[in-house]
Amino acid sequence: MRPFWKKHGLVMLGGICQGFGMGVFLFPQSIPSGGAGGIAILLNHFLQINMGPALWIVNFSLMLLGIKYLGKRFTLWTLIGITMTSLAIDFFETHFVITHRNLMYDLVIGSFFLGTGIGILMRNNVSNGGVGVVAVMISHGRNILPGKPLFYMNSVIFLITAAVISWEIIFLALISQWISTTVIDLVCRIDIPRSYSFGWRKKP
């Protein structure tokens, strides 16, 4: 039972880190947190769905893609992660208000926490939902780190979102993705003693 609760705690931590980066820094500046965030913005634009529910719907819908390929256990852990992230976003948006904002500070700090949270989840073989599910599938299939495929897929979604909403967001979104995916790969590469390992990948 100890490994279960250890993983559960780390998944919760990953979701909280994501929610903190999104709710406190990125979303207040209208910076998409990823491909799912870009799709959620489009849903908000066309269907007038609030960002919180829209993001959860997108994450949950894409998460279903992972059931057949990665199994029910993976899907359950991902559901826990995306739910914790959504709850954290609502909490931080409600209780943390920054009166004097700086766009670049919000961009860098928010992207750092976003990448840290996703990295923690992926080290535990748990997706952050959305296109992260597809990134995990690609990383498993090709035995590569998930940062690059996540970056490329998100970039395509950002281009579509920018074309519909505003071209100004594309630059902020791409910078955010570069920072966060770099942090993801750094977190996945950290050499942690086996007794404290998250279990992302064993060395030969």
CA distance 63 to 181: 19
pLDDT of residue 193: 56
Q: What angle do CA 128, 174, 134 make, to 5 degrees?
A: 35
* SS3 label, residue 134: helix
Q: Does residue 2 lie in a domain region?
A: no
Q: For residue 138, how many C-alpha atoms fall within 13 Å in the half-sphere facing its CB?
A: 14
Confidence class for position 70, pLDDT limits 50, 70, 90: low
pLDDT of residue 183: 95
Q: Does residue 203 lie in a domain region?
A: no
Of 52-56, 67-71, 84-88, 194-198, the range with the highest mean pLDDT is 84-88
CA distance 41 to 22: 14
Q: Does residue 185 lie in a domain region?
A: yes
pLDDT of residue 44: 77
Confidence class for position 1, pLDDT limits 50, 70, 90: low
Is the pLDDT assigned to residue 203 strictly greater than 50? no
Alpha helices in the chain (DSSP H): 2-20, 35-47, 51-63, 66-95, 103-123, 131-142, 147-164, 168-189
Q: Does residue 204 lie in a domain region?
A: no
Q: What integer best gives the mean pLDDT of the chain?
A: 82
Range of the domain at 37: 22-190
- Cα torsion at 54, 30, 175, 127 (round to 10°)? -20
- Which pTM value belongs to this model? 0.79
Q: Does residue 144 lie in a domain region?
A: yes
Of 93 and 136, the one with more pLDDT: 93
Q: Does residue 180 lie in a domain region?
A: yes
Instruction: For residue 42, give the DSSP letter.
Output: H
Q: What angle do CA 110, 115, 120 make, to 5 degrees?
A: 130
Domains held by the chain: number: 1
Q: What is the mean pLDDT of residues 99-126?
A: 92
